[in-house]
Structures are given as structure tokens and as C-alpha cells.
Amino acid sequence: MTIHVHSYATHSATSELVPFVFERRDPRPSDVAIDILYCGICHSDIHSARNEWGWTQYPFVPGHEIIGRVCAVGNEVSKYKVGDLVGVGCLVDSCGHCDSCNDGLEQYCNNGFTGTYGGEDKIGGTPHRLTFGGYSEKITVDEHFVLRIPDNLDPAAAAPLLCAGITTYSPLKHWNVDAGQKVGIIGLGGLGHMGVKFAHAMGAYVVMITTSPEKGADAQKLGANEVLLSKDAQMMAAAHNSFDFLLNTIPVGHDVDPYMALLKRDGTMVIVGAVESLTQVSGIPLIFRRRSLAGSLIGGLPETQEMLDFCGEHNITCDIEMIAMKDVNHAYDRTVKSDVKYRFVIDMASLKS
């Protein structure tokens, strides 16, 4: 038995997203079936739809910032019941027994996690062998990969927490960002605006590092104490050797050295944006001030729940622009131009109508 669902998919790197019908598996004993209410548009959806990383298989249904209501559960499901408000992020499966999975770091599964979209479906139950994401009416997911959404959060504005939220929260926690530290968030987009909110909530002195002077006032409303314009050589030089930590969300390869120079001795810059080659990475700024350059991938399931609960306690959600499903291609073009405040979210009711 399978469930037919409507969605939007793309069929090649150069074609637009168009309506597409496919089948989801009926819930197995440990599965939760979810009616999708909202899905955020992550820049990774666009990189993948357009095959910019070279690994996309078609048809391709994007979407890994999913909020919905449980509509059915398998008979072994213990954490969720019909009607619960839940979320699904970037992962829907992993091996469950390697050291990363045992540590609750399923995103680093030694045997390869299954992405919510474009992954190899190891569970099956449908004619296709790919996973299809959240630009769709329904999704069926093992309960281990389902998250609980705090009641006080607006469901639409909570959707991007499932990727943009955890991708910024996780490195801030892992590198122990704390009160009294000077933290720079590079790039004010979907990830960056959440990085500013989280670093501010953790008590850090937050600097928004941006290529867009017009975003300065917004950055301060989001919680930044200062704005640093990365194209202004004088401002950049004046900020050398002053940061404890930098979170870099730039979505393309770029020269790393100008940002490394901003770090103090022993400071760390974490790359989350550029899933591609970085240019100009000199050993000099690393060696002479013992600085570190690191990377980080989304977050595991326990930490994603921790982040959602943190958002519930601190009343943190995302700043969104809601769109109808049919406007998704236009939203992609605007995101690529950095013209979104600060995350598009698709109202999935517009797909049903």
C-alpha cells in the first residue's frame, strides 16, 4: 500500500520546478505519516535542483525544512500521536549503529545518512529508489527522525529551524560560544539571520559581516551589536585580530584569508556555506596566530530537538516571506540574488488548492 502525493519537482538542472505526483510508503511499525503544512526554501534546495554540486538525480523534489501534523502512526511509535505538530529536517535515515549514530550525530553516520531528498531510499516500499523532500503534501518518516515543535512557536516561522536553525546552532554550541565573546556571522541570509539570533541569545557580542550595506539596520534588529562591511577594506583592517569565532555562511567558494585575518589568536572560523572549493587559504594566518579553519554539517537529532526547545524557551523563530507553491521558481531567483528577508516558506495549502 502506498500513498499518492502531489509535489513540485524538477527533471533536469536547467528546468523549472513543475507539478509532480509520486508515491510515499504507508507507515511501517516505527513510522510517522505527516501532512505537510509548511516547507522552507534552503539555498541547498537550489544548489541541488540545479545540480551545482554534481550529485543530483532526477526527478528531484526539494525541501528539508518541513513542519506538519501527524496523520497516522505505526503500531510501534511511542513518541508521537495523530494531531501532533512535528518537524522533519535534512535526515530521514542512518545506519543507527556506528560511533557517530551512537553519539547522536547521525549527520556524520560512518555508513552514510539518507538525506530527506535526493538520497538513496534504503527502506523502500515505493517504486522509486530516491527520497523525495518536503515540497509535497505528505511525508512518511521513521519516528527517530521526527522532531517535536514547541507549542508557542508559529509553525510557519519555525519551519526553517529544521535546517537553517540547526546548522547555525550546532557550531555555536560545539565551539562553546558564550557571553563575553566577540562572534562574527558572515552572510545575512537564511542561515546568517538565525546565526545572529542564536549568538545574541547565547550572550555573545555579535557582529554581522555582510556584503550588503542596506541590510545593516535589519542585522541590528535581529540582535547584531555591530555591522562590518566585508567590501570596505578600511573597516576590515580595523577589525583584524579581534574575533573569537566566525560562522561563515557564504554559499559559494571564496577567498578565506580576508576573514581569517579577523580572528584573534586561537580563534576559529567555521565554514557551513561553501560546499565547494575555497580559494586562497594561506597557511600564514593559521600558523602565526594558531587560528583554526573548520566545517560543520547541520546537526544530529538530539541536538536538533535541543535547538527547537531552546527556541521555545527563548521565543526564537525565523523571519519569513510566505509564498504559494506556484511561485517557487521566482523565489529561487530572488534567493540567489540575496533578495529575501530572510527565508521563503511555502504554504503547502497552496499545493492542495
What is the Cα gyration radius of the chain?
A: 20
Q: Is 317 in the site for Zn ion (CB under 5 A)?
A: no
Residue bearing cell 562591511: 229
Q: Is 131 in the site for Zn ion (CB under 5 A)?
A: no
The least CB distance from residue 30 to Zn ion, in Å, is 25
DSSP 57: -
Query: How far apart are alpha carbons 315 and 158 in whole angstroms?
Result: 10
3-state secondary structure 248-264: ECCCCCCECHHHHCCEE
Residue bearing cell 547584531: 224
DSSP 64: -
The least CB distance from residue 269 to ligand NAP, in Å, is 13
- Contact stretch for Zn ion (CB under 5 A) within 23-31, 43-51, 262-270, 309-317: 43-51
Which of the listed partners (Zn ion, ligand NAP, none) does 161 bind, with a CB threshold of 5 to 8 Å by partner kind?
none
Cβ-based nearer residue to ligand NAP, 70 or 186: 186
Q: Is 163 in the site for Zn ion (CB under 5 A)?
A: yes
The least CB distance from residue 167 to Zn ion, in Å, is 7
Cβ-based nearer residue to Zn ion, 42 or 239: 42
Cβ-based nearer residue to ligand NAP, 31 or 65: 65
Which residues, at least 6 apart from 187, have a Cβ–Cβ distance to it below 8 Å?
209, 210, 211, 248, 249, 250, 251, 273
DSSP lists the bridge partners of residue 4 as: 23
Which of the listed partners (ligand NAP, Zn ion, none) does 131 bind, with a CB threshold of 5 to 8 Å by partner kind?
none
Question: What single-letter amino acid sits at 178?
Answer: D
Residue showing the smallest CB distance to Zn ion in the complex: 42
Cβ-based nearer residue to ligand NAP, 27 or 187: 187
Which of the listed partners (ligand NAP, Zn ion, none) does 189 bind, with a CB threshold of 5 to 8 Å by partner kind?
ligand NAP
**What φ, ψ does residue 118 adopt, rounded to 5°?**
65, 10
The least CB distance from residue 38 to Zn ion, in Å, is 14
Query: How far apart are alpha carbons 342 and 38 in whole angstroms?
Result: 16
**What φ, ψ does residue 42 adopt, rounded to 5°?**
-90, 150
Which of the listed partners (Zn ion, ligand NAP, none) does 200 bind, with a CB threshold of 5 to 8 Å by partner kind?
none
Q: Is 42 in the site for Zn ion (CB under 5 A)?
A: yes
Interface residues with ligand NAP (CB under 6 A) are 42-44, 47, 163-164, 167, 187-192, 210-212, 215, 249-252, 254, 272-273, 275, 296-298, 335, 338
What the block records as the C-alpha cell of 334 is: 530572488
Cis peptide before 302 (omega within 30 of 0): no
Q: Is 44 in the site for Zn ion (CB under 5 A)?
A: yes
Query: How far apart are alpha carbons 346 and 159 in whole angstroms?
Result: 10
- Contact stretch for Zn ion (CB under 5 A) within 19-27, 160-168, 306-314, 335-343: 160-168
Cβ-based nearer residue to ligand NAP, 30 or 338: 338
The least CB distance from residue 332 to ligand NAP, in Å, is 10
Tell me, residue by residue from 195 to 234, as one string, x for binding to Zn ion by CB under 5 A and - for no binding. ----------------------------------------
First to last CA, the chain: 25
Helix axes 190-201, 164-174, angle to 10 degrees: 40
- Residues binding Zn ion (CB under 5 A): 42, 44, 163
